[in-house]
Structure 1
Amino acid sequence: MPASILDAMAGDEAMPLDPIAKKYWTKDLQNPLRRIVLPTLKIILTITLHITYYLKRLSPIQWRAHGFLQWQICFFMKWFVRPEANVLILRHFWAESNLLNFVIDNAGQDEVDPVLIHPKMIRDLMVQTFVHHDQGVLMTMRDLTEPDRSRWPVPKDELSWENWKPVRLDYGVDRKKWTQFLDFETAHELFKTTFCFWLTAPEYEAAINSFQFDHSIGLLIDEIVGASHFADIAYNRFPMILVGPTGLSYRFLMHGFFVEHTHGHLERIRVELGLEN
């Protein structure tokens, strides 16, 4: 019997993914909006994003409204984005915080603050914002200037998980509003220009270039655990090269999957050690 692409995704265990994340992502992929609406939106909204991006860079007056931006995001998620996609968004904050904290905990630098961004529900994003999330990456890379590599690779039973937090959300998919019809990718397309508009040009440039540090984080984790594949998973690479909004949607997705796949690999190690996930 021929297999569908979704069948193959469900059976692929080479790149580990949390079962809940895989289930919700494959369900999200079946949204009929993706067939016609999403490709059309990508064309139109990529044009509006580039126009907004260049106008913001050229403008001598820089404006921002972080609070209003977060309110818009939360309202949009609550009323229009499918619950499965919302779970994936909330999970991402936890998973990336765990990756950064894993590096910090095993770097031998006690003065580096852990990343404490763990939203349990949509309204938590009013405080633990997307801007804070991006800054978590940038501040970690800034402060982690000279990690202690003398112990790397660290034996599995000596790895530090001090600031690792198993993902625990207070948001479920069982109470769906009839207006919640947007899948993850369509929602991102609809909001990417708004995100650019309500940040200053330097803030937005920092946000979209924070993805490039996936490569650096992957290399650090490889060194810590004595592996050679985490950096290979990273699509966004070489952070010394600044990028603009071209190809943003794909880079955004690949950042999310780098985080989830790497998080899944480390969860496997935790299972081997008898730790809770």
Structure 2
Amino acid sequence: MSDRAGSDGLSLADWDRNDPDPWLALMMDRSLPIDPRAKAALLRDQRSRSRQFLLPLVRPFARLSIIAAQLVHTVSPRWPHAPRLLHRTIAFGMRHFLTPDANLLILRHFHLGAQILRFIADNATPGFRPDLWPMEPRRIDDVRDDLFLRHDLNIYNFLIALNAELDKRGARIERVQSLDFSAITDEIALDPLPRGRFAFIDLQTAIELYTPAYALLLTDRDFWRATNSLQLDETIGLYVARLTGEEKHLAMVVNQHPMVPHSTLRAGFRLMLHGLSTELLHGFLREMKARHTD
């Protein structure tokens, strides 16, 4: 075990046996298959003062704002509809107010999700790849091109196209003896992330702030589809389990049962779980790839 488990206080040098830091314990823990850089970023983000003090103040107002936005869409389901404004607002906030750790986790997420979907397609339907929006943002400005909305569309379009192809072949998703791991990479290429003068907002607080804007500036159908895509973590996890023959990663999936949707009011917290589930599933596939390569 190394002398250091991370930075910003997450170090064995700061270990007080009479007052052990829970975040240090989580940093030292090796039970979850998560990329070390992403893990350090997540734990620094979660232990920040922003999450500790700002999030409890933001969350109730954010949920009231979601209710207000949904009341607007009850009367006018398709207006307002301003996805470009939404994404430019998100990109502006990421550039000026979010921590580098938060931005790292956001941009990584799109890469990981795309790699997992490609892994499933490569192994479930060799030679067929669903036509999806590219998801490889390198910098914050890449978010401006409706990236979040397209990410949600990709998930549903992937499920529809993949299963249509399986029906066409008269096939089903089942264990593959020789898995193709070419889609899964160890490194995610990103440009250097900015650190603005006011860059102190953590990821979870940012999500709670952005969710009401999502509810208002997208149509009712777009918002409902986006929030309920989070529960498809279970579906994607099951596909991977059937292909690999291993099911231990399913214990890490907490966004479950997409046929019984959760309330949209908890979308912010569920989005955090979605991000973690994606990191863990990708980490699980990276470990499998390493074992198969050895």
Q: TM-score, normalised by structure 1?
A: 0.90
The verdict on how the C-alpha distance between 1:114 and 1:163 changes in structure 2, with shifts beyond 3 A counting, is farther
**Range with bigger deviation, 249-258 or 233-242:** 233-242
Whether contact under 8 Å (1:104, 1:114) holds in the other structure is no
The number of residue pairs the alignment matches comes to 271
2:172 is equivalent to residue 153 of structure 1: no
- How many percent identity over aligned positions? 26
2:275 to 238, 250, 256: 256
**What does residue 100 of structure 2 align with?**
83
Query: How far 1:109 moved relative to its partner?
Result: 5.4
- Per the alignment, residue 24 of structure 1 pairs with 41
Tell me, yes or no, if the aligned pair for 2:184 and 2:286 is still in contact at 8 Å. no
SS at match of 2:260: coil
The one-letter code of the counterpart of 1:189 is E
2:98 is matched by which residue type in structure 1?
Answer: V
CA deviations over 1:221-261 (Å, ceiling 9, x no partner): 01111111233321111111233312222211111111001
Q: Tell which deviates more after alignment, 26-35 or 90-99.
A: 26-35
Task: State the 1:166 CA deviation.
Answer: 4.5
How far does residue 145 in structure 1 lie from its aligned partner after superposition?
A: 1.4
Q: How does 1:219-258 map to 2 (within 5 A)?
A: 219-258=238-277
Contact preservation (8 Å) 2:46, 2:202: yes
Among residues 137, 142, 160, which one is paired with 1:142 in the alignment?
160
Does the Cα contact within 8 Å between 1:65 and 1:199 map onto a contact in 2?
yes
Taking structure 2 as the reference length, the TM-score comes to: 0.86
- Structure-1 residue corresponding to 2:3: none
* Amino acid of the structure 1 residue aligned with 2:157: M
For residue 109 of structure 2, what is the aligned residue in structure 1? 92
- Cα distance 1:109–1:238, how it changes in 2: closer, same or farther (>3 A)? farther
Unaligned runs of 5+ in 2: 1-16
Whether the aligned pair in 2 keeps the contact of 1:218 and 1:234 (CA below 8 Å) is yes
Q: Does 1:189 align with 2:208?
A: yes
Segments of 5+ residues of structure 1 without an aligned counterpart are none
Question: Which residue number in structure 1 is paired with residue 30 of structure 2?
Answer: 13
Give the 3-state SS of the residue equivalent to 2:264 in structure 1: coil
Q: CA RMSD in A?
A: 2.0
Distance 1:63 1:261 in 2: 36
- The 8 Å contact of residues 112 and 278 in structure 2, kept in 1 or not, is answered as yes
Which of 165, 171, 190 aligns to 1:170? It is 190
Question: Which SS does the other structure have where 1:15 is aligned?
Answer: coil
Moved more, 215-224 or 128-137: 128-137
The AA in structure 2 aligned to 1:74 is: A
Report the CA distance shift for 1:121/1:193 in structure 2 as closer, same or farther (over 3 A). same
The secondary structure found in structure 2 opposite 1:67 is helix
Rounded to whole Å, the distance in 2 between the matches of 1:65 and 1:207 is 15
